[in-house]
Amino acid sequence: MSDANTAKRGRAGGAPPPDLVDLVRVEDRISFLYFEHCKINRRDNAITVRDDEGTTYIPSATLSVILLGPGSSMTHDAMTLLGESGASVVWVGERGIRMYAFGRPLTHSSTLLQAQAKLVSNTRTRLAVARKMYGMRFPGEDVSKLTMGQLRGREGVRVRRIYKEWSKKTGVPWTCREYNPRDFDDATEINKALSAANVCLYGIAHSVIVSLGCSPGLGFVHTGHERSFVYDIADLYKAELSIPVAFKTAAEKPMDIGAETRRMMRDEVFDLRLLPRMATDIKSLLGQDDSAQAAKMRPDVNHVALWDEKAEEVSAGKSYGKDLEREGD
């Protein structure tokens, strides 16, 4: 047996890494799970989570995001499996705001990534996609002629109105969105709930984006940050998801508002079928939702070619230049 095969079979009790074709599509996965004060390991192709209450087994192929709170630790084998399974791991600090994520695409195809890069690199097409994003937030309104400044202004008015509406519905006092990125507790209860809800939403958006093979950093509305596209996509659902969840949670005045917000987010994400919606919306925004492009995105398609400025692409794995060698002879 070769050294490579020995290493492959020897990891985690002899379990080889999962094949892409065996993995669950991102839209059909568990949205997210949160753990704290635990030890995460690997058993075959499952993740084990051990805490004071015992050990929980989670099939890695069904998981979209793991949120790790304070006191969590993870083995190298577990992290490797999650990476191979296309899951994102988000470490949430004690203050509950900052996050760090990892993931691998659930596709071998770069079709969506190439479309994203092409659209974002041209001012006209980038503006068109940004308008589509704002159009999703203003159903029934024509935003096709508005500038980015005008769109930002409308969005600001819309978000402030939504905050006031939910404050009135729930009786939760509201002044403004204000929090300390370095101290989760240095904020009002509603702002803590909004921070916790948004962290969940960002984690889910990051996982779907990476799983589809897109770049989290190539944003259309946001720019300059490694998660610009994550913020673009998450903003499409805040009015429907994270803002209502935060206000409803704060209205219940739970002992641990962060934990309760995450539980309510979990339920709402399932009820809204957010994962399939998000995957469909991303493909639509990038103009890649037709059946022909969908065929290219199959995980079993391992297509590698060489770029050509005239033919767009030529075959890889072929020896070129033989004619030139004969001419030299």
222 is in an annotated binding site: yes
DSSP conformational letter for 305: E
Strands (E), the chain: 33-35, 38-43, 46-51, 54-59, 65-68, 72-74, 88-91, 305-308, 312-315
What is the bridge-based pairing of β-strands 88-91 and 65-68? parallel
DSSP conformational letter for 90: E
d(CA 255, CA 250): 10
Q: In the sheet that 65-68 helps form, which strands lie side by side, from edge to edge?
A: 33-35, 65-68, 88-91
Both tokens assigned to 19: 């094949």
Map residue 262 onto helix, strand or coil: helix
Q: For residue 254, is it left (φ>0), alpha (ψ between -120 and 50) or beta?
A: beta
19 is in an annotated binding site: no
Phi, psi at 305, each rounded to 5°: -135, 175
77 is in an annotated binding site: no
Residues 156 and 137: beta-carbon distance below 8 Å: no
d(CA 210, CA 281): 14
* Chain-centre distance for alpha carbon 318: 37
Phi, psi at 30, each rounded to 5°: -65, 135
Annotated binding site: 155, 222, 235
Numbered residues of the known binding site for Mn(2+):
155, 222, 235
